[in-house]
Amino acid sequence: MSDHSIKATGRKDEGKGASRRLRHAGQIPAIVYGGHAEPKSIQLAHEKTWVISQSEWFYSSILSLDIDGTTERVLLRDMQRHPYKQQIMHLDFQRVSENEAIRVSVPLHFINVDVSPAGKMADVVVTHELNEVAVSCLPRDLPEFIEVDLSQMVVGDIIHLSQIKLPAGIEIPELKLGKEHDVAVVVAKHGRVEAEETAEAEEPVEAPAAAAKPAKKDEK
């Protein structure tokens, strides 16, 4: 688990007006909550935060939030973006305790598909049904991502959630809910089959023809 440090500053002004002023000044209003402590209002520099928000780890790693020289260990729990501008409107961070399990969505990195039997065939399509998975673990065990090795994948193979090799200390809570939650993660099949299934899904269903109404008899 890498250490990612982000600088922030405490703030006392709250409310919509104060948040607008912060945004105009190039700052992002944010809050830190949880961890058996009172919520704390903070602000972060928008330009620096926007840059790191382009990194995958920002959303799935434990962050060291440096607030006026005091470090809080947190997870990003919510980000509000402007509907059309490249602007972060608000951030929510949750404190984590080293001895309490957390639940986080971790990215999946698919490797070695190009050397697999399926990957070497021109007419085979390997599709990723999931790109991340929700895991439960202690903060110290949280990985930035989980690798899924596809080197042995052949045509017709389906890799399910239960087949992912997890790092030590990690579990997938979804698998405890029953076999129906052991969903497909990766599927390898012929491109022709993929095209046929897509065409069938998009084919409109014809409505049944309306029953012909009996012709009216001429009134006498």
CATH code linked to domain 102-201: 2.170.120.20
pLDDT tens for 42-94 read 999 999 999 999 999 999 999 999 999 999 999 999 999 999 999 999 999 99
Residue ranges of the domains in the chain? 4-95, 102-201
Task: Give the β-pairing of 124-128 and 184-190.
Answer: antiparallel
Q: Which residues contact 74 (CB under 8 A, 6 or more apart)?
A: 32, 62, 63, 65, 93, 94, 95, 96
Residue-wise pLDDT tens digits, 102-153: 999 999 999 999 999 998 888 889 999 999 999 999 999 999 999 999 999 9
Give the chain's mean pLDDT. 87
pLDDT digits (tens, 9 = 90+) for 20-47: 899 999 999 999 999 888 999 999 999 9
Grouping H, G, I as helix, E, B as strand and the rest as coil, residue 172 is: coil
Q: 4-95 in CATH: which number?
A: 2.40.240.10
Cα 186 from chain centroid?
17
**What pTM did the predictor assign?**
0.78
Domains 4-95 and 102-201 fall in the same CATH topology? no
